[in-house]
Chain A
Amino acid sequence: MSSSQQPAQAPAPVRLITAFGSPFAHRVEVALALKGVPYELVVEDLASKSELLLAHNPVHRSVPVLLHGGRAVCESLVIVEYVDEAFHHGAAPRILPTDPYDRATARFWAQFIADKCLKPLWLSMWTDGEAQARFARETKESLAVLDAQLDGKRFFGGDALGFVDLAACTLAHWLDVLEEVAGKRLVGDGEYPALRRWAKEYTSDETVRRFLPDRDELVAFFAANKERYTSMVRAAVQRQ
């Protein structure tokens, strides 16, 4: 058979192991959609983890996990970079910028969001007293820096949605759900105007919208897990 008659090799199948309500899985779904990658969704019950998940993410045993032709990629922002590189084709939007300096800047802000915003935010929701005040203060200081960083831009990277927006997605759709469930108001009226505007832009984006979990279901989900989060966070804070 000559090479021109050989069938084109079918692209390796893509599966995404996810769980309801995860902002980390959301990041990956948006990334896959931006690149136009078809995939099969495997939804986990994290209270009863599947062999598939445990086999492919033995280190963290968490979602999301991307399976590309049977090979696993773990850690949501690592997966997003992988999706950006492995599935890029001519017409697809870039998730990370192409310029090295801009890429470094995007990675810096994604890390800042993870370490200085999301981590203390989570801890502030499920603690009380002195510890809670400390985490809330740290979160708010970081949100102020982030707000300033937006500086009138539509998205963190400029006109188009990208890596840093995905990194910050929790702040757009999950923050007020957490505040409601935890009974703790972190963001006051009128605070962080740029971030609020960005949150509206992000959640109304035509691609993002398809992957935002229903708000009422999110509230029910986090409320059902509130005690578990509280004891996990208490243990983590004690170890510090």
Chain B
Amino acid sequence: MAEKGVKVFGMWASPMVVRVEWALRLKGVEYEYVDEDLANKSADLLRYNPVTKKVPVLVHDGKPIAESTIIVEYIDEAWKGEYPIMPADPYDRAQARFWARYADEKCNPALFPIFTATGEAQRKVVHEAQQCLKTLETALEGKKFFGGDDVGYLDIVLGWYAHWLPVIEEVTGASVVTDEALPLMKAWFDRFLAVDVVKAALPDKDKLLAANKARREQLLSA
């Protein structure tokens, strides 16, 4: 009998997984969530994503899709009649895809070094990350959300910053997204986190803090 329904393979602390959950929740799609131990991946995960073996993986009626941004576009197309995630106009879609790539290819690598940097080195990497985020911020200009009046694709792609960056800031003592440096982004963080479906899929902040503190200690002592 054909496998039916929607499954998400994820890891509770992964920001990329949350993107998928936000998209599904906006569409009102029910799904089964399977939490993975990334140090001991399940046979199912490896069967569904043999190429990169990473989470998130969405399985829809038995058919797997990997890569969070690709999954989000798939969700928008597969449940076309529901809440619109991608903009309607091709040019606006191109802009959204452009900025999503910029965030994942430029901003994320600029943010990672902050996690283990200290002292003067930390100041330098924070500044570089802020430059990246400042560029990204231009896509927000004058709008409530990156998607306009409502949450859209780019909000889903960037939304993890709103929950994870404050955690990283607390764990590392760095100040990245401040009112002075990134006022538009900071204001967007608050608006985004106030959205019901966003709140519903977020991992517990204290748990995230503890896990990140432990990971940082582990990396710094290595």
Contact A71 B91 (CB under 8 A): yes
Given contacts A86-B90, A108-B66, contact A74 B74 (CB under 8 A): no
B48 CB to nearest chain A CB (Å): 12
Given contacts A68-B91, A85-B90, contact A101 B51 (CB under 8 A): no
Residues 4-30 of chain A, each 1 if its beta carbon lies under 8 Å from chain B, else 0: 000000000000000000000000000
Question: A71 — which chain B residues lie within 8 A by C-beta?
Answer: 91
Asked if A104 is at the interface (CB within 8 A of a chain B CB), the reply is yes
Tell whether, in the assembled complex, residue B70 and residue A108 are in contact, meaning their CB atoms are under 8 Å apart.
yes
Closest residue of chain A to B101 (Cβ to Cβ) is: A75
Task: Mark interface residues in A55-73 (1 if CB within 8 Å of B CB, else 0).
Answer: 0000100000000100101
Binary per-residue interface labels of chain B (86-102) against chain A in the complex, 1 for a CB within 8 Å, 0 otherwise:
00001101110110011
- In A65-92, the 8 Å CB interface with B consists of 68, 71, 73-75, 78-79, 81-82, 85-86
Interface assignment of A100: CB less than 8 Å from any CB of chain B: yes
The secondary structure that dominates the A interface is helix
Residues of chain B contacted by A100 (CB below 8 angstroms): 74, 77-78
Cα(A71)–Cα(B93), bound, Å: 13
Q: Interface size of A by Cβ–Cβ distance < 8 Å? A: 22
Q: Within the complex, which residue of B63, B93, B95 is in contact with A101, where a contact is CB–CB below 8 Å?
A: B63
In this assembly, does A229 line the interface, its C-beta being within 8 Å of a C-beta of chain B? no
- Given known A-B contacts A79-B94, A81-B94, A82-B93, A107 and B73 have beta carbons under 8 A apart: yes
Pair A104/B71 contact, Cβ less than 8 Å: yes
Select which of A59, A81, A101, A103 is within 8 A of B97 by beta carbon: A81
Chain A residues whose CB sits within 8 angstroms of the CB of B51 once the complex forms = 108, 112, 145
| B135 within 8 Å of A (CB atoms) | yes
Q: Does B137 contact A (CB under 8 A)?
A: no
Binary B-proximity of A110-138 (CB < 8 A = 1, otherwise 0): 01100000000000000000000000000
Q: Does B135 lie within 8 Å of A101, measured CB to CB?
A: no
Name the one of B60, B67, B93, B94 contacting A107, with C-beta atoms under 8 angstroms: B67
**Is B167 engaged at the interface, CB distance under 8 Å to the other chain?**
no
Q: Are A73 and B70 in contact, with the CB atoms below 8 A?
A: no
Please tell me if the beta carbons of A108 and B67 are within 8 angstroms of each other in the complex: yes
Nearest A residue to B99 via CB reads A59
Across-interface contacts of A86 in B (CB, < 8 A): 90-91
Determine if B67 and A111 form an interchain contact, defined as CB atoms under 8 angstroms apart: yes
Report whether A78 and B74 are in contact in the complex, using a CB–CB cutoff of 8 Å: no
Whether B65 pairs with A59 at a CB distance below 8 angstroms is: no
Cβ B94 vs Cβ A59 within 8 A = no
Q: Are B90 and A107 in contact (CB under 8 A)?
A: no
- Which of chain A's residues has its CB closest to B50's CB? A145
Interface residues of A (CB under 8 A from B): 59, 68, 71, 73-75, 78-79, 81-82, 85-86, 100-101, 103-105, 107-108, 111-112, 145
The 6 closest A-B pairs by CB, nearest first: A100-B77, A85-B90, A104-B74, A82-B94, A86-B90, A100-B78
Given contacts A59-B102, A101-B63, 8 further A-B contacts (CB under 8 A): A68-B91, A73-B98, A81-B97, A101-B60, A101-B65, A103-B73, A108-B66, A111-B70
